[in-house]
Amino acid sequence: MSATHFIEAYKGTPPWDIGRPQPAFEKLADAGEIAGPVLDAGCGTGENALFLAARGYEVVGVDAVQAAVEAARRKTVARGLEAQFLVHDALALDGLGRRFATVVDSGLFHTFDDGERSRFVTSLAAALTLGGHYYVLCFSERELRDGGPRRVTQAELRAAFGHPPFRVLSIEAAEMGTNLDDEGRKAWLARIERIANPQPARRSSG
């Protein structure tokens, strides 16, 4: 999806801005699966990041849309929380100059085309510590209603992250909340671990 699409969406209330954290991330936190510091990639107006900040995590949120980041900053002040929100390209996370133990992604990965997916994998590897985890919540092909972002299959998630410097730990059915109606949209929640890069083959001395 184009940057213009998201800029226009934030002139109102976009469907993904539900005014609360996504239940999938609440469950991850409740289960003790989140470690800090945390990066929220594609943070929108900050609900997931601020939920984690309220739990005591050090959190940085990045989004490409200025209006979304400004809204997240206002919420941070209003709620008396500590979190950092930056206008930044998720395809260039190396530019943050630091690494995180956890990266959460609510509805970012499914906005990328094939070329952007490859760039995001490289970008993510630069931002995630060795042994760190990336939790991605994305629309799945099981969602048959019209509209919304590109659907993502389990096979596509494994193609993107099922090889070094990542490995897929699990992919489970989940729901992504929207403000369109009382029902969530069918999604995948994938747990992905940052592992070591493959060692280059040694040249034979003989």
- Here the CATH number for the domain that contains residue 107 is 3.40.50.150
Least trusted range by pLDDT, from 25-29, 66-70, 138-142, 188-192:
138-142
Residue 149 within any structural domain of the chain: yes
pLDDT digits (tens, 9 = 90+) for 62-73: 999 999 999 999
Residue 154: inside a domain: yes
- How confident is the model over 3-10, as a mean pLDDT? 64
The band of 6, judged by pLDDT with boundaries at 50, 70 and 90, is low
Is 200 contained in some domain? no
Give a yes or no: residue 199 inside a domain: no
> Which amino acid appears at position 65 of this protein?
V
Let me know if residue 135 belongs to a domain. Answer: yes
Please state the domain count of the chain: 1
**What is the SS3 assignment for 154?**
helix
In a domain, 36, yes or no: yes
By residue range, what is the domain housing residue 156?
Answer: 13-194
pTM of the model: 0.90
CB 124 within 8 A of CB 161: no
> Whole-angstrom Cα distance, residue 123 to residue 117?
10
Task: Enter the tokens of residue 135.
Answer: 């939790």
Residue 7 falls inside a structural domain: no
Q: What is the DSSP letter of 94?
A: G
CA–CA dist 85, 46 (Å, integer)? 8
As a whole number, the mean pLDDT across the chain is 89
Say yes or no to pLDDT of 97 above 60: yes
Q: Is residue 4 domain-resident? A: no
**Long-range contact list for 57-64, CB < 8 A, 24+ apart?**
59/83, 59/84, 60/84, 60/85, 60/86, 60/96, 60/100, 61/85, 61/86, 62/86, 62/87, 62/88, 62/90, 62/93, 62/96, 63/87, 63/88, 64/3, 64/6, 64/88, 64/89, 64/90
Which residue blocks in the chain are alpha helix, DSSP H? 3-9, 23-30, 47-54, 66-78, 114-127, 154-161
